Amino acid sequence: MVPKLIVRIEAVKEEAENIRSYELRSPDGTDLPVFSAGSHIDFFLPSNMIRQYSLSNDPVERHRYVVAVQKEENGRGGSSYVHTSLKPGDQIEISHPRNHFELDETAERYKLIAGGIGITPILSMARRLKSLGKPFQLYYACRNKQRAAFTEEMIASGLSGHLLYSFDDQQGPLKTQALFGLPEQGVQIYCCGPTGLMDAVKSATRSWPVGTVRFEHFSADETTGPRADDGSFEVVINSTGKRYQIPAGKSILSVLAENGIFVDNACCEGICGTCETGLLEGEADHRDMVLSDQEKTENRHIMLCCSRAKSASLTLDL
């Protein structure tokens, strides 16, 4: 089971148009579990809603977590509930921090790219790199100034000297090909934002070495869902040897649940990493947006909510 804890909402702040930050603290004042730059936590909300929000504050801080939530007018209801119902003094249940967007601190230089609400994990990385004395540049793309979050905080914390804004209504879209089109020795790129921005960065960085460009996704795309040519395959539970057939149109996660095998999950879209499970045998058809290309090639883990099989059978470390 995903470890859970109760926190109190210490403060709520308007950060930008439709974006609010929420400062969370332990009700008894004790330290919160350690996290690293790029981590996220789950909010457990009413009606079994589970939503993931990245931590934006400095990883050295143990007394609080800070997340930012963008209200999505056409979303599934989670962000609307947070904006309309959660206020200072309220207590909520969250998960311990998890990280599928870890910062490799061994590089010589860094390029951090954020779009809109994607600034949240990138901001935590910028804080960490500043404390390490690492050279970095932060590119922050937004539709306009009104949608740029944490502006005052970045000035106050000394990050503005590393920051380059790009506003669509002034300069047009971020010039990804010009900025990131040529690989640079000793440089790593981290990117989080809307699909359009990340697709542009992916296209611009195709010639960069494997492992030097990492992405954090807030929403799934068409590659994570079912396909017309999906077939059936078998999964084997390593601890018991039991076998289950996974038909087209059903996920591994759902078939296992139907047979009393419950694996922690949240998004069911391949973007949060909660249902990540060890893969012992077989070749997966990786459809998630969590594992890196290298991790997918290594084929040691699988997201049960969306991925399928290229081989006839998969043996799971369950």
pLDDT in tens, 85-109: 999 999 999 999 999 899 999 999 9
- Same-domain status, 196 and 232: no
Mean per-residue pLDDT over the chain, rounded: 93
- Same-domain status, 14 and 69: yes
Which structural domain range is residue 31 located in? Answer: 4-95
- Residue 273: pLDDT band (50, 70, 90) is confident
pTM: 0.85
The CATH number given to whatever domain includes residue 283 is 3.10.20.30
Could you count the other beta carbons within 10 Å of the beta carbon of residue 205? 23
Tens digit of each residue's pLDDT (9 = 90 or more) over 240-252:
999 999 999 999 9
Cα distances (angstroms) measured from residue 296 to each of 50, 59, 145, 292, 303: 26, 28, 38, 6, 11
Alpha-carbon dihedral angle through residues 176, 182, 183, 187, given to the nearest 10 degrees: -50
For residues 129 and 138, the answer to whether their CB atoms sit within 8 Å is no
Is residue 297, in this structure, part of any structural domain at all? yes
What confidence score (pLDDT) does residue 7 get? 98
Tens digit of each residue's pLDDT (9 = 90 or more) over 194-213:
989 999 999 999 999 988 99
Among 72, 95, 118, identify where a domain stops: 95
Q: Which two tokens stand for residue 91?
A: 């207590």
pLDDT over 80 at 2, yes or no: no
Range name among 17-21, 40-44, 120-124, 214-218 with the lowest pLDDT average? 214-218
Residue keyed to tokens 């005052």: 152
Q: Which two tokens stand for residue 103?
A: 């910062």
Is residue 104, in this structure, part of any structural domain at all? no
- Same-domain status, 38 and 76: yes
What confidence score (pLDDT) does residue 179 get? 95
Q: Does the CA dihedral 309-311-313-318 come out positive or negative?
A: negative
pLDDT over 90 at 267, yes or no: no
What confidence score (pLDDT) does residue 78 get? 86
- Give percent above pLDDT 70 in the chain: 97
- Same-domain status, 209 and 228: no
Compute the distance between CA of residue 59 and CA of residue 36 in angstroms, rounded to an integer.
Answer: 5
Q: Which residues contact 95 (CB under 8 A, 6 or more apart)?
A: 2, 3, 4, 5, 41, 42, 44
**Domain tally, the chain:** 3
pLDDT over 90 at 111, yes or no: yes
Compute the distance between CA of residue 27 and CA of residue 151 in angstroms, rounded to an integer.
Answer: 29
Residue 46 DSSP label: T
Q: Read off the pLDDT of each residue in 38-61 and give the average, rounded to a whole number.
A: 93
Compute the distance between CA of residue 73 and CA of residue 66 in angstroms, rounded to an integer.
Answer: 22
Count CA atoms closer than 13 A to 7's CA, side-chain side: 28
The CATH number given to whatever domain includes residue 209 is 3.40.50.80
Amino acid, single-letter form, for residue 81: Y
pLDDT over 90 at 53, yes or no: yes
Compute the distance between CA of residue 155 and CA of residue 286 in angstroms, rounded to an integer.
Answer: 41
Compute the distance between CA of residue 136 and CA of residue 162 in angstroms, rounded to an integer.
Answer: 7
Among 66, 95, 124, identify where a domain stops: 95
Amino acid, single-letter form, for residue 307: S
pLDDT over 70 at 220, yes or no: no
What confidence score (pLDDT) does residue 1 get? 64
- Residue 219: pLDDT band (50, 70, 90) is low
Q: Which two tokens stand for residue 297?
A: 């090639």
